[in-house]
Structure 1
Amino acid sequence: MSVDSKLNRAKNSVANNKIGFVSIFLLGINGIIGSGIFLLPNQVYAKIGAASIAIVLIASLLVLVIALCYAELASKFTENGAAWIYSYRAFGRFIGFEVGFYAWILGIIILSSEIAGFLTALAGFFPSLKNNYLYNLSALLICVFLVVVNYFGVSLAKFLNNLSSVSKLMVIFLFVVVGVFYLDISNFQPFILPEVVSNDSFYTSVGAALGVIFYAFTGFSFLPIAAARMENPQKNIPLALISVIMTCSVIYFLLVVVSISVLGSDLSVSSLPVADAFSKMVGNWGYNLIVIGMLISIGGVILAFSFSVPLIASSLALQHQLLPEFIGRKNKYNRPVNALMITFVLCSVLLLSGDYLFLISLAVFASFIQYVPTALAVLKLRNDKSLPVGFVIPGGPSVPILAILASLYLLSSFNLKIFIFGCAGLVMGAIVYFFQKKRGGN
């Protein structure tokens, strides 16, 4: 075989291995619809009541505002990395590294919390998993499985991702369709919990409820991270981001409406609200079906994050050498094997020592830390003549400014413990950055 033939064959192989729009869309669905929407509606209802449906709509609007910022920037860049690439270009090495390092830590936190949620749901079928030894062993085995799946590149991960996305959407569709016949308007009265009104805590309750439901959306910011592995990323990623957020918003709204309609005030004390609601509608088989759907859904999020999170560390290492080069080293399947291994070692440590509810709160806090510099980067880079014009958000600077204000408002709703742990990640990133700089990496 001639050299030219080999080169053409290699180029065709790379092209065929790239992810098209449908797979990008399903990857986004998989990266967002996970444990949050199945486990957290009860927490939102307990804070605000039937007004949970309004909270979902407000959260959807704010997430769309933030996602539009990512969409505009994604249309200007094709490199792996997303938020850290945007911040690096707009504000320099240090800010770019802090955002990238924090995004990597955020991804590891979400991976850990979703695996913990998966095992918690699985314990409903296998109570023996409540034993600490079996729980920890199962968590480690899941990590090993994910390393193997991702080691061999895009093809297997893409197949499992598409299968998971389609399966979860079918289960959710069934729940909503059946739920239409069980609507009970009386369960939406009172719309806001009386104690929220009487205690004059509406502002605080809204912030707390938004902070909870935002976890159900946190995965969207990871969609552009694998840009270099996608077909026509400057066109497909912005379109996929907007499509995914709108699709998830409709799904979440309908799930919460049906759950409130069927369970009423019992929603606040239900540990698996969607499963309990379907059980009340159709019997025990409905509960089992939703739990299975929940496992598929969480598994899809885990799979999506296991694919994208190591790419952050690899991107930091290979593009601009912000981490040691060996971290970005790739195997023959073009996967960052060292970043993959380090990611899951850290994930395993969190799984053996972390708490699910604490981890999801920390994940939301870390997400907003990432959103602020991304929105600021839109304002800085919009008129950069060295970048493609791409997609431009209508309304001038209003959308990125609204994204910044919303992020700062929601950051203020977290307790001191989350704030301290969240800021500790920034301090850790600064230490790693200056250590690497001292070694000559910058």
Structure 2
Amino acid sequence: MASHKKKMTVTQLTLIVAVNMMGSGVIMLPANMAQVGAISLLSWAITAVGSMAIAYGFAQAGVFDREAGGMPAYAKEAHGRSGSFMVSYLYYISLAIANVAIAISAVSYLSPFFPWLNSTPFATMIGALGLIWLTTVANFGGPNITGKISAVTIWGVIIPVAGLSLIGWFWFSADRFAAAWNPQGLSLIEGLGSSITLTLWAFLGMESAAQNAGAVENPRKNVPLACMLGTVGAAVIYILSTTVIMGIVPNAELANSTAPFGLVYTQMFNSTIGSIIMACAALSCTGSLLGWQFTIAQSGKLAADAGMFPGFLGKVNSMDAPIIGMILIGIVQSVFAFSTASSSLTEQFSVLVDLSVVTNVIPYIMALSGLMVMMRKEKVTSKVFLRNSIIVAVAVVYSIYAIYASGAGAVVNAILIMMFGYLIYGFMAPRFETKAATQKADVKKTGEAT
């Protein structure tokens, strides 16, 4: 009973999904999209459909999965142990990359309060490292503590973003929005694909429910529910908030802003309100980083429990927190922070986002393709099989397009990361063969005894 009480409820897991998606992606999104123009909002049309298809696929996989093993377990159904390992490995790396980008976003919102954070690239890096290790240590309290903290930090997003979605229309100017529509003269096709990477970055986190399956009560019921609820809620808020802000703040001013939501509230009310909003946004970034730190540690634990990662990553303390794994990923993130340090924070953030998207989406494709095998094992009706297969096909085609839209540099770097993963798997594969042979011998011996 004691361990059961430490598990997250469906509400806490939904909040983890929402925080992971909204905590950092949306607060810088308007400024990044304004660099293209309001035509970049067309990317939401593709991303919203694709992301909902991905979320639905994960929700269905959560229903049929008997291991509560998340994406690696789904991929194993279709691609075997090597596929399961590659999903665990790439997802692990992608979260490490994403966490550095999130920490940089948090520092950008904190810099108006602490100007030294933005004085030099080194100072920014120190600030990002401080947040990475602060949220790492905060997760030592286990999944229940993380869920409770996330329930508080989510308001750092809900207050400024959802509030703007509701009341911002009173300041909305159709003429200002029209002037910001297409400053670069893009075609309709270019406009549709202009911000695919950014909008998908905002949706990354929809799989958090599946990855935290082992830490939630009644995962077969609650994982799909949390996955869909978190994604739908985020989609509505994203589209409304990014649309209304482009009709309030002049496009050139918005594109150069490092704190777009603080800027819009300053224009709507005054600088004091703007500063409060910036503080809320910084809180949300920290909460997002906290949720991602927990998710990546839990992913490492799931992989270790399945024999894919070293066993020490699966060891937990009395609060059910994999501390060793958390410390290790903190070190990995610190390495990424040092290796990507740049005089241009925008360029550094863009490189991290593109690479994170590619290394995140490849596991999506591998995991979703496992749903076909799972449905066959469950002997679902032909109607259910056809419906789910069509939706998964949409999700995978969108994912492939997102990889293409991320750019050649991100794709090449992701392939290099994958090749190192295959090298690592080559060293681990003999252990899997030995384990399988031992299990086969045990079965044979048991049969002879009976």
Partners of 2:388 and 2:207 in 1: CA distance: 22
State the partner residue of 1:371.
364
State the partner residue of 1:64.
52
SS in 2 for 1:92: helix
State the partner residue of 2:413.
421
The partner residue of 1:299 within 279, 286, 293 is 286
Question: Which residue identity does 2:399 align to in structure 1?
Answer: S
State the partner residue of 2:232.
246
Deviation at 1:396, TM superposition (A): 4.3
Q: Does 1:217 align with 2:203?
A: yes
Q: Does 1:16 align with 2:5?
A: yes
State the partner residue of 1:351.
337
Is the alpha carbon distance of 1:439 and 1:328 closer, same or farther for their aligned partners in structure 2, counting shifts above 3 Å? same
Partners of 2:98 and 2:298 in 1: CA distance: 15
The partner residue of 2:391 within 376, 388, 399 is 399
Deviation at 1:268, TM superposition (A): 3.2
Is the Cα contact below 8 Å between 2:65 and 2:374 reproduced in 1? no
Partners of 2:147 and 2:249 in 1: CA distance: 37
Alignment of 1:33-432 (within 5 A): 33-47=22-36, 49-77=37-65, 79=67, 81-130=69-118, 131-189=120-178, 192-193=181-182, 195-197=184-186, 201-266=187-252, 267-319=254-306, 321-354=307-340, 355-385=348-378, 395-432=387-424
Partners of 2:333 and 2:325 in 1: CA distance: 12
Deviation at 1:393, TM superposition (A): 7.9
Instruction: Report the aligned-residue RMSD.
Output: 2.4
Partners of 2:196 and 2:394 in 1: CA distance: 16
Question: Which residue identity does 1:168 align to in structure 2?
Answer: V
Is the Cα contact below 8 Å between 2:375 and 2:385 reproduced in 1? no
Partners of 1:53 and 1:340 in 2: CA distance: 37
Is the alpha carbon distance of 1:190 and 1:379 closer, same or farther for their aligned partners in structure 2, counting shifts above 3 Å? farther
Question: Which residue identity does 2:273 align to in structure 1?
Answer: G
Partners of 1:411 and 1:141 in 2: CA distance: 31
Deviation at 1:190, TM superposition (A): 5.8
Partners of 1:393 and 1:123 in 2: CA distance: 51
Deviation at 1:191, TM superposition (A): 7.8
Q: Deviations over 1:67-89 (max 9, x none)?
A: 11111001122645421110012
Partners of 2:154 and 2:386 in 1: CA distance: 31
Give me the TM-score of the superposition, normalised by structure 1.
0.89
Is the alpha carbon distance of 1:73 and 1:414 closer, same or farther for their aligned partners in structure 2, counting shifts above 3 Å? same
Partners of 1:167 and 1:271 in 2: CA distance: 17
SS in 1 for 2:112: coil
Q: Deviations over 1:161-210 (max 9, x none)?
A: 1111134313323333331211212223268516435xxx4424422312
Q: Deviations over 1:86-139 (max 9, x none)?
A: 001222000111011101111111111111211122112111113455444433
Question: Which residue identity does 1:38 align to in structure 2?
Answer: I
Alignment of 1:423-442 (within 5 A): 423-438=415-430
Question: Which residue identity does 2:425 align to in structure 1?
Answer: Y
Percent identity among equivalent residues?
21
Deviation at 1:381, TM superposition (A): 2.0
Give me the TM-score of the superposition, normalised by structure 2.
0.88
Q: Deviations over 1:191-240 (max 9, x none)?
A: 8516435xxx4424422312221111111122211112111111111111
Q: Deviations over 1:275-294 (max 9, x none)?
A: 22211111112321221121
Question: Which residue identity does 1:374 align to in structure 2?
Answer: A
Partners of 2:431 and 2:387 in 1: CA distance: 45
Structure 2: unaligned runs, 5 residues or longer: 341-347, 436-450
SS in 1 for 2:377: coil
Deviation at 1:36, TM superposition (A): 2.1
